Amino acid sequence: MIPTSIDGTDITGATIDGTDVQEITVDGQTVFTAGPTPAPDRLYYVMNNGDMVQLDLGSKFSLSNVTETGRFSFGGNTTDVWVGDDGTKLYGTNLNDDKIYQWDLNTPYDINSRSNQITQNQTRAHTISISADGVHCLTSNYDNELRYGILTTPYDVTSFNLQHTIQADTTFGSNNFADADYVNQGNKLLVGGYFDAVTISDLTTPYDLSTVTNVQFSTLSGSGEEKAAKFMSEDGTKLIHGNGFNQEIREFDLSTPYDINSRSNVLNTISTNAFVQGIHMV
């Protein structure tokens, strides 16, 4: 095997005339591959007016300095957004037309470059979360059910094969799911219901909804305002949450990782022009 180093220094990246090199070969043998495009510091959210919005962040998981860099509508009552781990797939859910949407992103992580739209039927679709390997998929209907399935073709929502369901009111204390996300490499599940019901749980088998345990409940405000979306940073020290009625997204620190009751006061907010319903960050 030809070494992937020059004069003892590993090749971790290369440019020619300012252009990134994607691959280096010697005598027909590949010795360097650039790998996937690094994720930008970016936030995505969807609203009940049909819009999906892309924001660039001044620093990772912080809402203190954001710039809108993309927006489009896929109609009706859009409820959640997810971006595949390498940034080449985009997903959204739409409550009005009962569909999960999937697009290719020709420029990784950029919703402006979407193409090849396909859809999967999902009654009253209201959330989407997919594991890094594109195999495990979490979705739900608006009313009362969280659904776990295997994508028999990775990243392809049309290949969803249902494995297990959970009723919201008996497990998470709410009869309406708003959003659900895998966190901590699928070892934990963060679920937002309506009227302040927010929970984090352990999954004894990563990504497998049938192994949920240790459900921790929290009330973000106690005001009865609808809490329609959320995302937690992978290290468990940050909670980003949407308040639908107030049309804003809020940022909290967690002093104890993954403990939603250890949150700080609101650090920063973003105002939205409609009812925010789903959030994703990379």
Q: What is the pLDDT of residues 269-280, one digit of tens each?
A: 999 989 888 899
Task: With cut-offs at 50, 70 and 90, classify the pLDDT of residue 231.
Answer: confident
DSSP helix/strand/coil, 198: strand
Task: Report residue 247's pLDDT band, with 50, 70 and 90 as the boundaries.
Answer: confident
Cβ neighbours of 58 (radius 10 Å): 11
Please compute the mean of the pLDDT values over residues 32-37 and round it to a whole number: 66
Residue 2 has pLDDT above 60, yes or no: no
Which pLDDT score, from 0 to 100, does residue 8 have? 62
Q: What is the mean pLDDT of residues 31-48?
A: 82
42-281, what's its fold? Methylamine Dehydrogenase; Chain H (2.130.10)
Parse the chain into domains and list their residue ranges: 1-35, 42-281
Whose CA is closest to 120, among 143, 153, 88, 144? 153
pLDDT at position 168 over 80: no
Give the global pTM: 0.85
Among 159, 81, 182, 164, smallest CA distance to 127 is for 81
Which range has highest mean pLDDT (16-25, 68-77, 106-115, 247-256)?
Answer: 106-115
What is the tens place of the pLDDT at every residue in 73-99? 998 889 899 999 899 999 999 988 989
Can you list the pairs that 165-168 forms with residues at least 24 positions away whose Cβ atoms lie under 8 Å? 165/209, 166/209, 166/212, 168/140, 168/144, 168/193
Asked if 104 and 84 count as a contact pair (C-beta separation under 8 A), the reply is no
Two tokens, residue 278 = 């789903």
Contact 201, 242 (CB under 8 A): no
- Number of other residues whose CB lies within 10 A of the CB of residue 112: 12
Per-residue pLDDT for 167 more than 60? Answer: yes
Please say if the pLDDT value at position 223 is more than 60.
Answer: no
Phi, psi of 274 (to 5 degrees): -160, -175
Q: Does residue 184 contact residue 234 with C-beta atoms inside 8 Å?
A: yes
pLDDT at position 1: 41
Structure tokens at 35: 């790998």
117 or 277: which leads in pLDDT = 117
pLDDT at 112: 98
Q: How confident is the model at residue 70 (pLDDT cuts 50, 70, 90)?
A: very high
Average pLDDT over the chain, rounded to an integer: 85
